[in-house]
Structure 1
Amino acid sequence: MISSSQVSQWSLGWPELTTQKDDLTLALLTILAITLTISWFRSFCATSLLPPGPRGLPIVGYLPFLRPNLHHEFNKLAQRYGPVFKLKLGGKTLIVVSSSDLAKVVLREQDDIFANRDPPLAGAIISYGCQDILFSNNNSYWRNLRKVLVSEVLSNKNVEGSRIFRVREARKTVNYVYGMIGSEVNIRQIAFFTSLRVVTNMLWGTSLVEDEKSNNINRDFEEVITNIVELVGRANLSDFFPILSRLDLQGIERDTKQELKTMDGIFEDIIEGRIMLYKTKSKEAVVVEQEGKKDFLQILLEYKNQNTTATSFNITQIKALFMNIVSGGTDTTSTMVEWTMAELLQNPTVMKKVQDELEEVVGLNNIVEESHLSKLHHLDAVIKETLRLHPPLPLLITRCPSQSCNVGGYTIPKGSDVYLNVWSIHRDPKYWDNPSEFNYNRFLNLDSTTKYDYNGNNFNFLPFGSGRRRCPGIPLGDKMLVYFLASLLHSFNWALPSGKEHELSSKFGIVLKKREPLIAIPSQRLSSQNLYM
């Protein structure tokens, strides 16, 4: 039997056991509550640590309040909200970075996170579904594509090897302008045609257009490239509201596909012609016909035939790369030639110093050679100052972080569109004295610690970006730009048409262009007519 004392002990033990269970339950509930609170707090903080920015309307966000010149608008918003701010535009979250310090974080310290793209619909179409080097994400395909482009086309050796094309085409243009002495010349147009001939010679061994007198061919091609660049940079409702994309309310998808069809036809004819030539002749014979050198098309077709995952390219990928090189090598170069000449015509004393230097280095009884370019310090400084005031890509190309990260103490959400406002950085009084003034002297006589180049190492000066997505065509573009400008400025004196106002306003797009074309009148400067032949 159980004694009364045992009963007493057990009865006294139950309350003790019950208390232990309650304490354990309470402890578990407390831990759970703390965990949930911390999780909620972290989520709340992540949201609250998003960059500041203006409020918008439901659904459309800030879209109705944006004006066309986004680089100006973003600069004004940065002055109000700071060097990193956010905008909601429909279904998109935009992050805008407007300071040198934070640009360094995005472009160098976290370059791997920000190396992907989120192209607009027009960009995806014109790049054959993002199979090019501009809009492809940072993956093995893109890395291989860039490697081939840099090693086979844009290496220092190959850029130097293409000198014959630059010299030949620049001389053609000088001869053409000589025939226009006393008449009005469209600066951007002659720069475009010259760049186009150089680039197509490099790509497939022959010039697509032979001279400026072939007006219909030249102007049609110029119009297509200009339209493509404009369409890619145009605001498209389908990009902000994907549900509307099938409606194509602004006709951008339709127009882009039409321009692509035109360019694709040209590329198809060139590529098919080369393939047919291979079928009738040996590759060695083709190389001999091309002055003993392989052009880029032949190199890519050889990669195509290798049939290996690491290096092979299909025809569509070849055309996508052609699109990058043709549009980038012509539109950007001709735009910067026009801006530089516009600034020199606005500053005649600076133009005289540049021409005096050319006279000293080259001589009025001689023509410009590429060997002269390294000695043209004034022209180099003028070009850099022009790039500072008129960066060709004012917002660079949109970057899209592959994961959420921190920039300037704020959370940058994964998948957002990140813009670097280079135009704003280039005009920031924190980095530049009298930033709105054209003063090429700021790029003269610099020591090694303050030297500015185009490689993106100085984050106060980023005309072509920085990091792994920096423009790979810089070596070729630099040579073309400097040599062509030197040839025009050494061969001719230039004046504005009488009675016409000279203006420097810009038209925003993916490429920042002069709103009105620059028209100038040339006159002979060299000692002999033979130097123009």
Structure 2
Amino acid sequence: MDVSTPFVALLFIGLLSLFLLVARKPSPSCGDGRRLPPSPPGLPLLGHLPLLGSLPHRKLRSLAEAHGPVMLLRLGRVPTVVASSAAAAQEAMKTRDLAFASRPRVRMAERLLYGSDMAFAPYGEHWRQARRVCVLHLLSQRRVLSFRRAREREAAALLDRVRRAAVRDAVNLSDLLISYTNGVFLRAAFGDDVGGYELDGGEKLRKVFADFEELLGTVTVGEFVPWLAWLDTLTGLDAKVTHTFEEMDALIERVIADHRQRRRGGRRKEDDHRDFVDVLLDVNEMEEDADGVRFDTAAIKAIVLDVFAAATDTAYTTLVWAMAELINHPHEMRRVQEEIRAAVGGGDHVTEDHLSELRYLKSVIKETLRLHTPLPLLLPRETVEDTELLGYHVPARTRVVINAWAIARDPATWERAEEFVPERFADDDPTDDQYALGQDFRFVPFGAGRRGCPGVEFGVPTIELALASLLYHFDWELPAGGASTLDMDELNGLSVRLKATLHLVSKPWSPQ
């Protein structure tokens, strides 16, 4: 049965109304003298779920302003500690990293990622070996450099699409950037042949990928309130998950089968041309490389999808937000264009050799990541033992959420915290880690510690090359006759995206 969103909303509100007269506040202690974090009033059974709204990172910041940088919420049956300060993030991801190193069960991830992935895996041997394979085999500096051809090829295709679209009307840059980021990932993960799907932005492939990312960022009602799990079926969510999983599984299964057939025929790729599937099949065939943990086909699929979700969604979201901020800040747009055009020196195109010279471009990207952290609430952690956070007791098996978005906009640690000011990063040492993974806990867009994102080095050049290429070859502005600035409202999902579609006018530029 097809149930409309308004009907479901009314139904859910009706259920909530049964409990509105019985709000309570959790006890501030455990009964043995240990202090639990402060907690706002909640509802029986539902706890604080109704407080989160459509943009939870914003609502949680408001709650933290009233209740402090460490709060205890009860999301249905799930006790959840929320950390909203750099000090709390540092303690959870560095000082007491091991105690906070696990992940809770996330039903959507279990259904879409075979229960064998790395990002959502609980702390243990499978996670250690999966991360080892990713760090040493898939995402090493050497392997990332080997995908340079894929990135430059897709950047050239992006520019061609902009030129073709600009002939007709304003460019739907959001649409073209999705094709770009998907294309880079597909060539890196699967090679140039994707099992009969159209590689360059085919509609069927894009629809499957878009549904996968949307669902992975969807929270099921039944996960937090089991007695309301029927809502996930009633709304069609369960059926959509099953269909999307089957579509994605069929695609990857076909790609893996093609790779295995080629390998059986003795046609193995040279090391610098191996894609992710080739590398994972090597690990699968050499058990000793994984210290006795065998990576079966399900694990290969899960890790490929992990990298897809992390790499494409982050890159796409950051590129869109960066272009949106530059459109609203034309002075900064001109400054970064002047830097790029001086570095390229009249050449035909931007290459990755130019990227190390583009310090202000890196500042623009860092400031974009600060203001628009792609995953504002980092993937949830779970404590493996009783521990503490800023002096508060946190019991074992408590879910922990770090509000990286709130931390990056904290006026106590950032001047002009709500403004787009790339210059704040202009004096950073270019020889340092440009994106501060685990170095500055005021800025943690990729997490830190054991559960920090291992794919930063893969995603960053994808972002830098596309942004530099777009700004080198074109001047950009909003369509005439419309608003003078771009609406920066947010849309929540796997990442928090720009709600508006990025329709821009592109004007070709060439050196004199």
Out of 438, 458, 464, the position equivalent to 2:420 is 438
Tell me whether 243-252 or 372-381 shows the greater mean CA deviation: 243-252
Deviation at 1:256, TM superposition (A): 1.7
Cα contact 2:88–2:389 (8 A) shared by 1: yes
- 2:37 is paired with a residue whose SS is coil
Cα contact 1:395–1:510 (8 A) shared by 2: no
Deviation at 1:209, TM superposition (A): 9.7
Deviation at 1:302, TM superposition (A): 2.4
Aligned to 2:399: 417
Deviation at 1:52, TM superposition (A): 0.7
Out of 241, 261, 275, the position equivalent to 1:295 is 275
Structure 2 CA distance for partners of 1:109 and 1:251, relative to 1, 3 Å: farther
Out of 237, 259, 262, the position equivalent to 1:277 is 262
Aligned to 1:264: 249
Aligned to 1:305: 285
Cα contact 2:179–2:200 (8 A) shared by 1: no
- 2:47 is paired with a residue whose SS is coil
State how far apart, in whole Å, the 2-side matches of 1:209 and 1:462 are.
37
Pairing 1:235–2:198 present: no
Q: What pairs with 1:512-531 in structure 2 (closer than 5 Å)?
A: 512-527=496-511
Moved over 4 A (4+): 209-215, 447-452
State how far apart, in whole Å, the 2-side matches of 1:207 and 1:154 are.
21
Q: How many residues align?
A: 479
Aligned to 2:106: 120
Cα contact 2:76–2:225 (8 A) shared by 1: yes
Aligned to 2:491: 507
Question: How large is the Cα RMSD of the aligned pairs?
Answer: 2.5
State how far apart, in whole Å, the 1-side matches of 2:217 and 2:161 are.
33
Aligned to 2:85: 99
Cα contact 2:108–2:215 (8 A) shared by 1: yes
**TM value normalised by structure 1:** 0.85
Tell me whether 306-315 or 379-388 shows the greater mean CA deviation: 306-315
Deviation at 1:157, TM superposition (A): 1.1
State how far apart, in whole Å, the 1-side matches of 2:242 and 2:365 are.
35
Structure 2 CA distance for partners of 1:404 and 1:499, relative to 1, 3 Å: farther
Aligned to 2:3: none
State how far apart, in whole Å, the 1-side matches of 2:429 and 2:277 are.
42
State how far apart, in whole Å, the 1-side matches of 2:420 and 2:197 are.
35
- 1:248 is paired with a residue whose SS is helix
Structure 2 CA distance for partners of 1:52 and 1:324, relative to 1, 3 Å: same
Pairing 1:220–2:204 present: yes
Pairing 1:479–2:466 present: no
State how far apart, in whole Å, the 1-side matches of 2:392 and 2:344 are.
54
Pairing 1:49–2:71 present: no
Deviation at 1:257, TM superposition (A): 2.0
Structure 2 CA distance for partners of 1:511 and 1:332, relative to 1, 3 Å: same
Structure 2 CA distance for partners of 1:72 and 1:43, relative to 1, 3 Å: closer
Cα contact 1:189–1:334 (8 A) shared by 2: no
- 2:223 is paired with a residue whose SS is helix
Pairing 1:385–2:377 present: no
State how far apart, in whole Å, the 1-side matches of 2:193 and 2:471 are.
25
Aligned to 1:394: 376
Q: Which runs of 5+ in 2 are unaligned?
A: 1-28
Deviation at 1:480, TM superposition (A): 0.6
State how far apart, in whole Å, the 2-side matches of 1:369 and 1:419 are.
38
Counterpart code for 1:299:
V
State how far apart, in whole Å, the 2-side matches of 1:292 and 1:419 are.
39
Deviation at 1:354, TM superposition (A): 0.6
Deviation at 1:175, TM superposition (A): 2.0
Question: CA-to-partner distance for each residue in 1:100-138, whole Å, 9 max, x for gaps?
Answer: 011100000111111111143112111112x11111112
Identity over aligned pairs, percent? 32
Structure 2 CA distance for partners of 1:484 and 1:90, relative to 1, 3 Å: same
Question: CA-to-partner distance for each residue in 1:313-347, whole Å, 9 max, x for gaps?
Answer: 11111111111122222222111110000000011
Counterpart code for 1:303:
V
Deviation at 1:205, TM superposition (A): 1.9
Deviation at 1:226, TM superposition (A): 2.6
Deviation at 1:475, TM superposition (A): 0.4
